[in-house]
Amino acid sequence: MTENIMRENYTLPRLHVADALTAGAEIALPREAAHYLTNVIRKSVGDSVRVFNGEGGEWRAEIAAVGKKSAMLSVTEKLREPTAVPDVTLLFAPVRKHRTAFMIEKGTELGVRTFQPVLTSRTQFPRLNVEKARLQAVEAAEQTERLDVPDILEAKPLLDVLAAWDDTPILFADEAGDAGEARDVCSKLTAPLAILIGPEGGFTDAERKELRALPNVHPVTLGPRILRADTATVALLSVWQSVNGDW
């Protein structure tokens, strides 16, 4: 019976909300969410949805009222307790918009807790719209049954980030080819940790030298081919999750 109930829940639409979640709470959806619920997926009064706010687990709610540009939900019962992903930070140099969006989406799916954009000597696209990136992360969390939403920070120069860094290990995707194999290195590092992905064109020799001089930086190779930044992100996150993450 419980399994059937869970399967039924997973068929319900899922929305991220900013409101506190308790039984009986009333939630006025933002215009975009109301439009999606009532006009895109054609839900109406009395239909159930799932809601989460990143902190309070997941709850069932019923559509209590709809208008032309609004919808009201009534929270009924808790479905799942809060569950955090492993403490993984993605340090990445922003690339072209669609590829950065891919990194945010797939990083969220693969369990990144914090995105920290870093500016390197060869970063060609230093501007990152943090609010837009957060919306992309929210959408990815909604689609993948994730109960929290990752933090997305403002971009900072790589050297500033490293200067303020503690002793948390950093997996450094080093395309030079003389680093340790990813699986071997990942198997030795548990969370918390960070994964560092460089820009198009890679790191400069000076940056690589500075990174390799840090005792908590662990260079890894991702094979004989040079991967794009977004591909490298998915590859290294996948390797770490498979050997030492929450897979």
**CATH code at position 14:** 2.40.240.20
> In the prediction, which pLDDT does 1 show?
39
Sequence-ordered list of residues with C-beta below 8 angstroms from that of 40, at least 6 positions apart, any chain: none
pLDDT mean over 161-167: 94
**Structure token digits, residue 78:** 């808790």
Q: Are residues 56 and 139 in the same domain?
A: no
**3-class SS string, the chain:** CHHHHHHHHHCCCEEECCCCCCCCCEEECCHHHHHHHHHHCCCCCCCEEEEECCCCCEEEEEEEEECCCCEEEEEEEEEECCCCCCCEEEEECCCCHHHHHHHHHHHHHCCCCEEEEEECCCCCCCCCCHHHHHHHHHHHHHHCCCCCCCEECCCEEHHHHHHCCCCCCEEEECCCCCCEEHHHHHCCCCCCEEEEECCCCCCCHHHHHHHHCCCCEEEEECCCCCCCHHHHHHHHHHHHHHHHCCC
Q: Are residues 195 and 167 in the same domain?
A: yes
User: pLDDT band at residue 7, thresholds of 50, 70 and 90?
Assistant: low
Q: Are residues 160 and 113 in the same domain?
A: yes
Sequence-ordered list of residues with C-beta below 8 angstroms from that of 148, at least 6 positions apart, any chain: 54, 55, 82, 83, 84, 85, 113, 141
Q: Are residues 93 and 144 in the same domain?
A: yes
Q: Does the pLDDT at position 134 exceed 50?
A: yes
Tell me if 213 sits within 8 A of 162, measured CB to CB: no
Q: Does the pLDDT at position 177 exceed 70?
A: no
Q: Count up the domains in the chain and report the number.
A: 2
Q: Are residues 65 and 129 in the same domain?
A: no
Q: Mark which of 56, 80, 104 sits at the end of a domain.
A: 80
Boundaries of domain holding 104: 88-244
What is the C-alpha separation between 214 and 157, in angstroms, rounded? 17
Q: Are residues 65 and 103 in the same domain?
A: no
Taking the complete model, does pTM exceed 0.85, yes or no? yes
User: pLDDT band at residue 178, thresholds of 50, 70 and 90?
Assistant: confident
